[in-house]
Amino acid sequence: MKRIYIVDDSVKLRKRLYELLSDVDNVQVVGQAGNADQALDDIRVLKPDTVLLDIRLPGKNGIQLLGKIKEWQPEIKVIMMTNYDYPQYRHKSFRAGADHFFNKNREFESIIEVLKR
């Protein structure tokens, strides 16, 4: 069973991801947060296998959170998601340790496909 944690400041998007992932075999959403500080605390306790992480968050941004996650627990897979698919974000994300990078507007279904594998 893959344990997934969702981090996005949009309640609507978190709910949509939760609903989509509920229908995927061997996937369990173990938690979700709308900001980096809550997410980091939860991730340390819940120890998910994969984190779905938005780049733009209140407070610390997603790339900063990604760095902390990989520093603390490098085996956690992190899938970056954004509406701002700029090359510099993609580059910074992979340099910080992202396993995947998707544009939420164009590649939303690809996120689900990666989790099914």
Distance of CA 81 to the CA centre of its chain: 7
- What tokens were used for 91? 């580059």
CATH value at residue 34? 3.40.50.2300
How many CB atoms are closer than 10 A to CB 112?
A: 14
- For 58, the token pair is 């209140």
Which 3-state string (H, E, C) describes 8-43?
Answer: CCCHHHHHHHHHHHHCCCCEEEEEEECCHHHHHHHH
User: What is the pairing mode between strands 27-33 and 2-7?
Assistant: parallel
How confident is the model over 46-76, as pLDDT tens digits? Answer: 999 999 999 999 988 999 999 999 999 999 9
pLDDT digits (tens, 9 = 90+) for 22-50: 888 899 999 999 999 999 999 999 999 99
How much is the pTM?
0.94
Quote the number of domains for the chain: 1
- What's residue 31's pLDDT? 97
Instruction: Report residue 117's pLDDT band, with 50, 70 and 90 as the boundaries.
Output: confident
pLDDT of residue 7: 98
Full domain range(s) for residue 95: 2-116
